[in-house]
Structure formats: C-alpha cells, structure tokens
Amino acid sequence: MSKLVQSVALALLVTLVFSVLVSAKQPIVVVDALGRSVELPSIPKRVVSIAPSITQILANLGLLDVVVGVDSFSIGDWYLNISSRLRERGVVDVGGYWWSVIKVEEILKLNPDIVLADSGAHRPLLETFESYNVTVVYLHGGSAKSVNDVLSDIYTIGLVFNETSRAESLVNEITSALDEGLKLLKPFSGRRILVVIDFWQGIWVVGKATFIDDVFSRLGLINAATTYGWSAVSIETISKWNPDIIIVACSYATNETIREAGLYDLGKPIVLLNNTEIDIISRPGPLITLVPQVLYTALERGLGKPVETVTPTTPLTTTITVTETKTTTITTPIVQVVGLEAGQVVVITVIVAILAFIIGLTIGLKRRRS
C-alpha cells in the first residue's frame, strides 16, 4: 500500500467520523429553577413567555422574533420597544402575571415549543402544563432572590436557544454595571434605605433575601428592613429601623397615600419613584444595568447632592424610549448532553476498527521493508 493511498484512506475515515459526530442529534437537557431536567430536542421556534423579566432577557438576546405569546405586563413593556414590536407581530396576550390569571387555553392554542415560566408566580401551573404535554422551563424570573439568580436565568435562556455568546456578553454587561455603580454610589455608602412597594393592608417593604436587598449590598448600601422577603409592617417597626431615607416604589402611591400611612410623620426624606424607575429597580433582568443611576438620582433627591462625587469610567446613562403614560460567583445551570444513538455508536466503532487495521498494516509494511 502506497503512502498516498494510506493518506487518502486516513483522510476519508477522519472526515467520515467527523460527519457522523456532527450529524448526531444531541438534545440539550437543562436543569431549571425548580430542579427539573428538561430535554429540548431542538431550538424552540414558538415561545410563550409569561413573565416580563423573562421577556426582557429574550429581547436583549435578540430572540423576540420567536415569541408568539406573552403575559399582559410584557405586552405593554417599554424596554427595548418591546410593546410595539410584539404588537406589530400580533403576539398574543395570554393573561396577567400571576398563575391564577394566566389563560392556559390561549397558550394551548398557540401550540408553543416551549413555555418560559416564573418559578414562584407560575409554580401551580406545572401539573396543568404536564397534563397537556407542554414543555415548560421554569426560571427564577420575578421571584429571583439575588443577582446570581438573574445571571443564571440569562445563561439558561442562552443554552436553550444556542445563544451562549450573547448571554455571556449580557452577564458581563450587568456585572460591569454593578462594579461601576459601586463607584458611583460611594458617596452614599452605608446609607440605610427602606423600600416600600405597597400599601395594601399595611406598609409592604422589601426585606432580606430579596433581589433588591442583594443589589443594595453589591452597591455598598444597607437595606434598613430586617424582615425577610416582602412583608407588611407597622409604622412603629419602621420607626425602630430608623432608615436614612424611604424610597416608595408603588405605582399607584401618591403623597396622600404616603401621608395616610404615617410615613411623613417619621421625619425622614421620602422619594416617590415614577413607573419607569419602579420597573428598573424591581424587575430582575437586564434592567439591572440602570439600577445604580436610578438609586443615585433618588438618593440625591432625598439626601441632597453629596460632597464627594465619583464619575464612573463607564457611563451608566442609557437612552430610554417609553411608549406609554468584580468578583461575582455565578450558579451556572447544569447542562447534560445526551449520548449518541446505538446505530451511530456501531458505525463509529466500525470506522475506528478499520482505522486501526490500516495503521497496523502500515506499521507492518514498514517493518517488512526494514
């Protein structure tokens, strides 16, 4: 056997092995926020997103064109012009955010390849989705308790849609914004901030082990609330916490609402955020990049312009179009790759055997010649 024939044979075999490996179907199995292993046979082409924070991640990663249904909050979202883009494509509104007002029948009519749901707000819908054989991946979404939960959601969506490079870029953008935000907010470092989110049957505040609490910590600020999660507290409790400033992030709140709750009686600076600012500080997703600037503006309004000002090396301002009135530890989603099918294994085994035979024959011929 000539060296030319041997070389050609080896090249053909290597090409054949590579072609078999590339053509092999290898569905990705992602572990979602509920710890479920979900197998995806291919990249989803018809997607239903039922949480605004999830829809915003899809938009940021350039995946809005595959969305066929969204929750009511997403359909009116100003971020990245999501609202008009969804309406132009006739994307279906499948109901409000909480599970009890999600219209499952509308989702079924859309025949989605996948539903992206919130692990907190939509957990009760799991059995319903499973009974109709609807593939659903649960993300932390609006139930995120930390920045890491948000970054994990971004990675998971990147894996599901084979957009890991874009996902990594967004993660880097968020972590960089928080690093720069820490510098920006240095003049307010250590300030005790209380965030009020509702006035329904009490004064609802943001406590420990929440997304906002984690953001405060990363930016050098202190959450004045000592309760956990979102909870209703009395005015006496707030007085004992002695916050330096109170930020009201409630869309329907007015000065009269705040006065009736007794917050003005505490003698503390109170800043009432507008709807856009509320979205930015309360929605766990790409909007995190804008949080430092919103907090800086709120603290400056309530506490006055700081003596020391720090200009971040990377501007934190972003042009927003409203269409209506570093060390970070990341919990990366577990990914498993399903092995080759039995027939493909047999083919590869035969090819390897042939390759070994040719190599052995070549060595034998060389020894005989020598």
84-95 average pLDDT score: 97
pLDDT in tens, 181-197: 999 999 999 999 999 99
Q: What is the pLDDT of residue 288?
A: 97
Gap between the Cα atoms of 212 and 207, Å rounded: 8
Gap between the Cα atoms of 194 and 263, Å rounded: 11
Whether residue 10 is predicted with pLDDT greater than 70 in this model: the reply is: no
Instruction: Map residue 79 onto helix, strand or coil.
Output: helix
Gap between the Cα atoms of 48 and 54, Å rounded: 10
CATH (residue range 185-303): 3.40.50.1980
CATH superfamily to which 26-174 belongs: Nitrogenase molybdenum iron protein domain (3.40.50.1980)
User: Whole-model pTM?
Assistant: 0.79
Strand partners, 137: 116
Gap between the Cα atoms of 363 and 359, Å rounded: 6
β 230-233/270-272 pair status: unpaired
On the CB side of 48, CA atoms within 13 Å amount to 28
The candidate with the shortest Cα–Cα distance to 284, out of 79, 17, 28, 41, is 79
E strands, 122-274, in order: 136-139, 192-198, 203-206, 222-223, 230-233, 245-248, 270-272
β 28-31/335-337 pair status: antiparallel
Give residue limits of the domains in the chain. 1-24+341-370, 26-174, 185-303
Strand partners, 9: none
Q: What is the pLDDT of residue 25?
A: 57
Q: What is the pLDDT of residue 294?
A: 98
Query: In the structure, what pLDDT confidence band is assigned to residue 6 with cuts at 50, 70 and 90?
Result: low
- Count the neighbouring beta carbons within 10 Å of the beta carbon of residue 241: 17
The candidate with the shortest Cα–Cα distance to 9, out of 367, 345, 357, 348, is 357
Q: Which residues contact 304 (CB under 8 A, 6 or more apart)?
A: none
Token pair for residue 337?
A: 């790759």
Query: In the structure, what pLDDT confidence band is assigned to residue 78 with cuts at 50, 70 and 90?
Result: very high
Q: What is the pLDDT of residue 157?
A: 98
Contact between 139 and 119 (Cβ < 8 Å): yes
Contact between 213 and 223 (Cβ < 8 Å): yes
Gap between the Cα atoms of 244 and 24, Å rounded: 61
Query: In the structure, what pLDDT confidence band is assigned to residue 166 with cuts at 50, 70 and 90?
Result: very high
β 222-223/28-31 pair status: unpaired
Q: What is the pLDDT of residue 20?
A: 39
Instruction: Map residue 150 onto helix, strand or coil.
Output: helix
pLDDT in tens, 53-62: 999 999 999 9
* Identical fold, 26-174 and 185-303: yes
Gap between the Cα atoms of 180 and 225, Å rounded: 25
The candidate with the shortest Cα–Cα distance to 99, out of 69, 114, 119, is 119
